[in-house]
Structure 1
Amino acid sequence: MKYTRILLKLSGEALMGQQQYGIDASRLMQYAEEIKVAAATGTQVAVVIGGGNIYRGVQAEAFGLDRVQGDYMGMLATVINSMALQSALEKLGVKTRLLSGLTIQQVCEPYIRRRAMRHLEKGRVVIFGAGIGSPYFTTDSAASLRAIEIEADVVLKGTRVDGIYTADPEKDPEAVRFSNITFDEVMAKNLNVMDMTAFTLCKENNLPIIVFDMNKDGNLQRLLSGESIGTLVSMHGATTPGGLPPTVDQTGRAR
Structure 2
Amino acid sequence: MKALRAAALASLLTIGATGCGGGTASPAGSTPAGTVTVFAAASLTETFTTIGKQYESAHPGTRVSFNFAGSSALATQINQGAPADVFASAAPKNMATVTDAGNAAGAPVTFAKNQLVITVTKGNPKKIAGPADLSKPGLKVALCAEAVPCGAAAKTALEAAGVKLMPVTLEQDVKAALSKVKLGEVDASLVYRTDAKVASADVDAVEFPESAKAVNEYPIVALKNAKNPAEAQGFIDYVRSADGTKVLTEAGFQAP
TM-score range, shorter chain: under 0.3
TM-score (norm 1): 0.24
TM-score (norm 2): 0.24
Larger radius of gyration between Structure 1 and Structure 2: 2
- Structure with a larger share of its residues in helix: 2
